Amino acid sequence: SIVGSPSTFAITAKPLTVTPTAGQSKVYGSANPVYDYSLSETVPVTGALSRVAGENVNTYAYTLGDLSAGTNYSLSIVGSPSTFAITAKALSITAVSIASRVYDGTKTVGAITIGSLTGFIGTESVTATAAGTDYASANVGSYASTISYTLVDGTNGGKASNYSLISEIANGTITPKLITVSALANQTKIYGDADPVYTYSTNPSIIGLAPLVGTLTRVAGENVASYAILIGTLANANYTISYVGANFAITPKPITINANAGQSKIYGSADPLVYSYTPSPSIAGLASLVGKLSRVAGENAGNYVIQQNTLTTINNPNYTISFVGANFTITPKQITVTANAGQTKIYGDADPTSFAYTLSAPLVGNDVISGALTRVAGESVGSYAISQGTLTNTNYIITYVGSNFTITQKRLTITATSEQTKVYGVADPTSFSYTLSAPLVGSDVLTGALTRAAGEIVGSYAINQGTLTNANYDITYLGNNFRITQKPITITVDAGQTKVYGASNPLTYSYGVSPSLTGLVALNGTLTRASGETVGTYTIQQNDLTTANNPNYSISYVGANFTITPKPITITVNQGQSKYYGDPEPAIFTYTTSPSISGLVALVGTLLRSPGEIVGSYSILQNDLTTVNNPNYIITFVSDNFIINPAAPFFQIPNAFVPGSQNEYDNIFRIFANSSFPPSLLISFRIFNRAGQLIKTFTGINDSWDGKGPDGSLLESDVYIWVATFVDDPLTKKIPRSGTFVLLK
């Protein structure tokens, strides 16, 4: 039987999706359509879709309405968009127009007029306002504007949001603006200046609007006068212009006439045809001036004022003239006065009554030159420039060419005194003496002094005239010699000069000089000493430090001795000298010297040690290695010990053995080592046959081989090889060794 709860099986409705078709709509006021849709599965259905209620322009969500697929399906709406749209109803307009307006510099459209609207549903009504887009330009002309509308509810319950009105194109016009252009009064320029831009005013003002193009003009003419200002090319299509004129005045140009400076003529020549001047500012390119300048009368050299004369404003109506005068100069006539060359006197004579000269050309008419030439003051021998002095005439510019007046010298002979001397190193006399061939004139004296040829060593030096002179004398000089004689000195060798045996000789041997040579030529040459390098006393000798090599000195020599003293050394016995017990003594006991005596006389004598031959330590003694046997040295001795060590470790490998022999030393192969040989010195020991096969490896120094092979059988008689590695005690250096031996049977 079936029991349990629940005890039923349920079949549930199958989900079915309804997707409304996108874009379904109607125009406001029209009937609703049948709403289209699709199903997620094709099944028979009944009924139709519905939507949310409403008839104004908007979107409305779909609902299932009475749509059904029976009890076996569960319907649901999906999809996007899932709304139904009601769109605005388009209205019609009977007419639209744009009124014209006067140019104001903006693109704003004129006033818009619209007609009546039609196309309403029932008794509904709406009203409209219009707005146009700006014109394409602000200038005068005809322009299209796009007219758009705004709908608002009317009086019969109309709903503006349910209607629409399409924008359209209309034309509007901008007409010219009427203005009056008036030329400004009192416009002027100065004669010769460029015309200005003629100014004007506008009524009403056009500030902020399109500017006028072109310019005013005037009646032609450039002389001082009044000229009517005309409208010229002044225009702009945005304006209708009414013009009111005025006059333009050209006024006289103020100028200053400056008589040019520097106008002149040479005394006696004719005046220039005109006196020149310069207008300021320049009148280049303008009407030339009428009239001329004149000057104050007069023909002597001098300045004469240049006057305005007829060069006035009356004769030049385009100018207002100011005058600045200048001087006209009559310049003196050029003439050259040349002082005659070769004018002289003898020193002490009087000057000539006048100094002679010549003229480059005759004077004009009866003219004469007044005054006289002069010369530079002075009565000593020499040349004195002849100058123009007071020679002059105001009607002449005198170019003066000078010359010299000469006073000649008196002859005089100066003779240097003979046999003037000094000792080498002494200062020269204050002055070198001389004699004159004749007395000097009056109170005259010679200035300066005799000099001599440079040099301070022994020798003869010419006495020269030097600076001895007097400009009033023509001096003839007769020279002589000045002699420097030798300086007597004594060279005394310094006592106590020494060196230690083996040291280098001094580069020089010192000495003193009496009297001192400070500031004089150094001595040339050196001292030497008697030869010898062993300890002792050696005479220091004069060598080439002689008068012959030092001609400035007369040398006396006092000698001394040079001493070589013993060299202090330390003899230190070398450490570690030893032998093995039973070994022979070393040939010598070694030592080192401090400092080294390499290259010097070898030491005489040997060391010895305390007696004894058993193992132990023995002092090494100085013996005859002493200062007595080595007089070149002062010896300090430092001893050390000689060690007799136990007998040296050694081992021996037999060169043959006989297995089974009755002799206990021959019947096995073994290593023979003395008691000093520690087993640890043997690292390895192996035996090979001649084929290289390993036969035996020893385990230590006390191991042995009985001649049997690895299988226990006695091997045949043959040559075998041993290979060993030992440590070289105490250096711990591994040393390989090898050899051969014979197995005999």
DSSP notation for 656-722: EE-TT-SSTTTSSEE-EE-TTS-GGGEEEEEEE-TT--EEEE-SSTT-EE-SB-TTSPBPPSEEEEE
Candidates 262, 285, 287; CA nearest to 272 is 262
Look at residue 152 in the predicted model and tell me its pLDDT: 87
Is the pLDDT score of 53 beyond 80?
yes
Backbone phi, then psi, for 389, in 5-degree steps? Answer: 60, -125
Candidates 65, 139, 142; CA nearest to 98 is 142
Is the pLDDT score of 744 beyond 80?
yes
5: confidence class by pLDDT, cuts 50, 70, 90? low
Is the pLDDT score of 729 beyond 60?
no
Order the strands of the 357-359 sheet from edge to edge. 357-359, 333-339, 396-401
Average pLDDT of the segment spanning 476-497: 93
Is 575:480 a contact under the CB 8 Å cutoff? Answer: no
Look at residue 365 in the predicted model and tell me its pLDDT: 81
Which range is least confidently modeled, 16-25, 116-125, 294-303?
A: 116-125
Is the pLDDT score of 157 beyond 70?
no
Candidates 593, 595, 613; CA nearest to 603 is 593
Helix (H) and strand (E) counts in the chain: 0, 68
How confident is the model over 67-115, as pLDDT tens digits?
A: 998 999 999 888 666 799 988 888 888 888 899 999 999 999 999 988 8
Candidates 510, 492, 500, 601; CA nearest to 557 is 492
How many CB atoms lie under 10 A from the CB of residue 86? 21
How many CB atoms lie under 10 A from the CB of residue 23? 9
What percent of the chain stands above pLDDT 70?
Answer: 96
Which of the 8 DSSP states describes residue 547?
Answer: G
Query: First-to-last CA distance in the chain?
Result: 117
548 SS3 class: helix
Token pair for residue 115?
């007609």
- 632 by Cβ neighbours in 10 Å (0-12 / 13-18 / 19+) ranks as buried
How confident is the model over 213-269, as pLDDT tens digits?
A: 999 999 999 999 999 999 999 999 999 999 999 999 999 999 999 999 999 998 878
47: confidence class by pLDDT, cuts 50, 70, 90? very high
In this structure, the strands spanning 374-375 and 382-387 are antiparallel
- Per-chain mean pLDDT for the chain: 90
Is 372:355 a contact under the CB 8 Å cutoff? Answer: yes
In this structure, the strands spanning 177-183 and 200-203 are antiparallel
80 SS3 class: coil
- 405 by Cβ neighbours in 10 Å (0-12 / 13-18 / 19+) ranks as buried
154 SS3 class: coil
| Length of the chain, in residues | 745
Half-sphere exposure at residue 380, Cβ-oriented, CA atoms within 13 angstroms: 6
One-letter amino acid of 48: A
What percent of the chain stands above pLDDT 90?
Answer: 63
Distances from the Cα of 333 to the Cα of 26, 373, 544, angstroms: 127, 20, 90
Which of the 8 DSSP states describes residue 469?
Answer: B
How many CB atoms lie under 10 A from the CB of residue 65? 12
Is the pLDDT score of 1 beyond 70?
no
Look at residue 676 in the predicted model and tell me its pLDDT: 67
How confident is the model over 388-447, as pLDDT tens digits?
A: 999 998 889 999 999 999 988 889 999 999 999 999 999 999 999 999 998 888 888 999
Distances from the Cα of 418 to the Cα of 185, 483, 486, 733, angstroms: 117, 10, 19, 100
Which range is least confidently modeled, 62-76, 317-331, 720-734?
A: 720-734
Look at residue 150 in the predicted model and tell me its pLDDT: 86
Half-sphere exposure at residue 200, Cβ-oriented, CA atoms within 13 angstroms: 33
Token pair for residue 548?
């012959």
Residues 480, 416: Cα–Cα separation, whole Å: 6
126: confidence class by pLDDT, cuts 50, 70, 90? confident
569's CB contacts (< 8 A; 6+ apart) are 593, 594, 595, 597, 633, 634, 635, 636
Is the pLDDT score of 41 beyond 60?
yes
